[in-house]
Structure 1
Amino acid sequence: MPLTRRLALAALLAPAVAPGIAWGQAAPWPSRSLRFVSSSPPAGASDILTRTLAQAVQDQTGQSVVVENRASAGGVVGSDYVAKSMPDGLTWLTTNVGPQAIVRALQPSLPYDTRADFRHVTIIGTLPLVLVVNPNTIPARDLAGFIALARAQPGAMNYGTGGNGTLHHLTGEMLKLAAGIDVVHVPYRGAQAATQDLIGGRIQAMWDSLPSAAPHIRAGTLIPLAVSGAARSPAFPAVPTVAEQGFPTVVTTNWFGMAGPARAPEDSVQGLYRELSRALATTAVKDRFASIGVEPGGMPPAETQAFVLAEIARWDEVVKRTGVTLD
C-alpha cells in the first residue's frame, strides 16, 4: 500500500525552559544520548535501516545514538522491552509489520498489547516481497505460468518462506486462496536456509524479501515472477505486481516503523519525528535505502498511529481467512 512522506512543519516547543536557554527559545532535542532498539537480527533489512538512521540522527543532533539488537521470538522480545521501558523519550523501537500487526492474531498471549502499549512516531520505509523460482526446476517466467503449473499438479509443488506466521507465509496463503491453487508451504528457520534449498532444487518457489533475493535475481540463479506491493519496485521495475497479473486482493508490504512506549513525552515524539524526517530527506539515506530496495517513509505521528491500528485489524482478518497458525 502506498505510504505518503510528509515533512514536519515545526517541532513542538519544550514545556519548560532549560538552564541557559533564553525565554521563548525551544530547548534542543535530544539533550542526552538515544537508544534505538532493533527487533531484528544484525544485517537484516530492519537492522540496516536502524543503523542508517541512527548515524544520520547522531550527525544531525550531535548526541550519540546507540543501536541495540533484541531480535528473539520474531521481534516480540525487542517490542516487549521497549513497551515496558521508562517513557523518558530516549528509548525507541524499530519494528515492522510482523511484531506490531501480524503476531497479535497468532499469539493472543503476548506480553504486550500491540494496540495500547506503543506511541508510533513514523513509518521509516516500506519493502515489497518477491515470488522467485529456480529456473532449472520451474519453467514459468510469469505468475500465470506458475499458477498453471500448480493447477496441473495439485499438492505437488511447494514454496518456502523464512517461517510460519511471517508476512511471507501469509502472502503465499493469500495467493493460494485468490488463485485457487494447492501449493504446499515449507517453513524454514530463516530466509537464508530457504534460499539455499531453492537454489539447490529442493523446493520450487519462495516468497522472499527483495533485499535478500536481489543478488540472486541479478545473478540469474533465481527468476522473479511478481512483487507483492501496490506498485512495482523501483529496484526491479520490469517485475510486475501480483495485483496487475490478475489478483488485486493480494497486496502486501513490509513496513518498518519507529515507536516508543505509550507514554513517551509528546515533545520527544515530535522531536524524533523531525530528526527522522530530516534524515529521510538526505541523499545519503535515500541512496542507502534504495540499495536494498526500500522506499523511504515519513508519515506523521498521528497518521502512523492510525495506520498501525488499521494494519492490526487487517492482519487479524487475513489470519482468520487463511487459517495460518504457528504450528
Structure 2
Amino acid sequence: MHRRQLLAAAALLPLPALAQPAWPSRPVRMVSSAPPAGASDILTRTVAAQLQEQTGQPFVVENRPGAGGVVGSDFVAKSAPDGHTWITTNVGPQAIFRQLRRDLPYDTRTDFKHVTLLATLPLVLIVGKDQPFRNLAEYLAAAKAKPGEMNFGSGGNGTLHHLTGELVNRTAGVQITHVPYRGAQAAANDVIGGRIEGMWDSLPSAAPHIRNGVVRAIAVSTDRRSAAFPDVPTLKEQGVDVATINWFGLAGPGRVPDEIVQAMYVQLRRALQSEPVKARFATIGVDPGGEPPDVTQRFVLSEIDRWSEVVRQVGVTLD
C-alpha cells in the first residue's frame, strides 16, 4: 500500500480499547542514535516532551551517536525488554546497513519491535551561502567541470544522505566526492564555513541554517516539494530522476511484550495528533506518522529488501 494511503487509513482507525498494562511505571529512556541538533534528536525531544505530559512520567532523551546509528541501535536491541528503553530509528541502521555491514551486531529483522513511524521527511541539498551555485543545474555543471574535486558531506558512511548523493552522482553523470562526518551538525559547520561545497541533510536539522541564510537550499530529495520550504524544487523537477524519503520510527527490543508495544502506540499516536507536536513538525517540514505496529513492522521489513537492491545498484561499500 502506498505510504500516503497508509497514513490516511491510520488516521481513520479508532484507538484500541484493549486493557493496557501499568506502563510506564518509572522514567522512560528515549535513545537518539544521532548527536544533538540532528533530525533524530529533534524528533525524539519533540515527542518525548509530549509523552511526558501525557503520562506524568519522565521521558529522558539520551544521545548515543556513532557508526551512522548502529551504536544506539545495538544498545537498545540488547536492553531489557520491559518497555522503558526505546530508540528513534531510521532507514540507515534498520535497512541500509544490513547490506553494507557484515559485522552488524544485531539482526534488524528480529531484534526490534517497531511501534509506529514518527515522521517522514525530505532530505535537502544545501550549499554555503558564498558558493556560486544558485540551483541544481549550476551545481552539477561545476561538478562536471572538475570531476572529483567537489565534495558533499553527510552524517556518516552508508546513511541515506550518503546514498542519495551517490544516486545523484550516478544519475547525473557527475563525480562529487563523499565526505562522511560524525553527525549532520559537524558536516553543516563545514558547509557554513566553506570547507566543503555542500551536503545532503535531513530537513529538520537544515531548516534553521536555511532560515538564517547561512546556507542555500537547492533541491529536496522527495517527489514533491516541502510545505515548509515550497520554493525549493525537487531533484526530478530539475532533471535528475532520483527520489528518496527519510523516515523515523520508534522501536524497542525485539522481546518487548506486545501489550507494552500497544500501550506505547496508544500514547504515541495521541502525541502525534496533539497540537504542539503537529505545529512543531509543520515548522521543521516533516509529516507525522501514526501507523499501527503491525503495519509499521511490515513497512520496515520491506525497506530492508528495497535498500539492499539500491546498495547493489550504486556499488557503495564501507571499505
TM > 0.5: yes
Deviates more, 1:118-127 or 1:86-95: 86-95
Shift of 1:243: 2.2
Alignment partner of 2:84 out of 83, 87, 90: 90
Instruction: Assess if the C-alpha contact under 8 Å between 2:20 and 2:259 holds in 1.
Output: no
> Which has the higher Rg, Structure 1 or Structure 2?
1
User: Corresponding residue for 1:57?
Assistant: 51
Instruction: Assess if the C-alpha contact under 8 Å between 2:31 and 2:62 holds in 1.
Output: yes
How do 1:1-327 and structure 2 match up within 5 A? 2-3=3-4, 4-5=6-7, 6-7=10-11, 8-11=13-16, 13=18, 26-27=19-20, 29-30=22-23, 32-33=25-26, 34-138=28-132, 140-248=133-241, 250-327=242-319
TM-score (norm 2): 0.89
Deviates more, 1:87-96 or 1:166-175: 87-96
Letter in 2 for 1:277: R
Shift of 1:135: 4.5
Cα-to-partner distance string for 1:113-157 (whole Å, 9 max, x where unaligned)? 01111111100012211112235332x322223223323333333
Structure 2 CA distance, aligned partners of 1:55 and 1:154?
Answer: 46
Deviates more, 1:179-188 or 1:212-221: 212-221
Instruction: Assess if the C-alpha contact under 8 Å between 1:70 and 1:77 holds in 2.
Output: yes
Instruction: Assess if the C-alpha contact under 8 Å between 1:30 and 1:63 holds in 2.
Output: no
Shift of 1:104: 1.6
TM-score (norm 1): 0.87
Shift of 1:269: 1.5
Instruction: Assess if the C-alpha contact under 8 Å between 2:20 and 2:260 holds in 1.
Output: no
Letter in 2 for 1:9: P
Change (3 A) 1:189 1:120: closer
Of Structure 1 and Structure 2, which has the larger fraction of its residues in helix? 2
Where does structure 2 lack aligned partners over 5 or more consecutive residues? none
Change (3 A) 1:160 1:62: closer
Seq. identity, %: 62
Aligned residues: 313
Deviates more, 1:52-61 or 1:120-129: 52-61
Shift of 1:28: 5.4
Structure 2 CA distance, aligned partners of 1:12 and 1:90?
Answer: 22
Structure 1 CA distance, aligned partners of 2:88 and 2:269?
Answer: 15
Structure 1 CA distance, aligned partners of 2:44 and 2:55?
Answer: 16
Where does structure 1 lack aligned partners over 5 or more consecutive residues? 14-25
Instruction: Assess if the C-alpha contact under 8 Å between 1:12 and 1:267 holds in 2.
Output: no
Shift of 1:168: 1.3
Structure 2 CA distance, aligned partners of 1:131 and 1:181?
Answer: 15
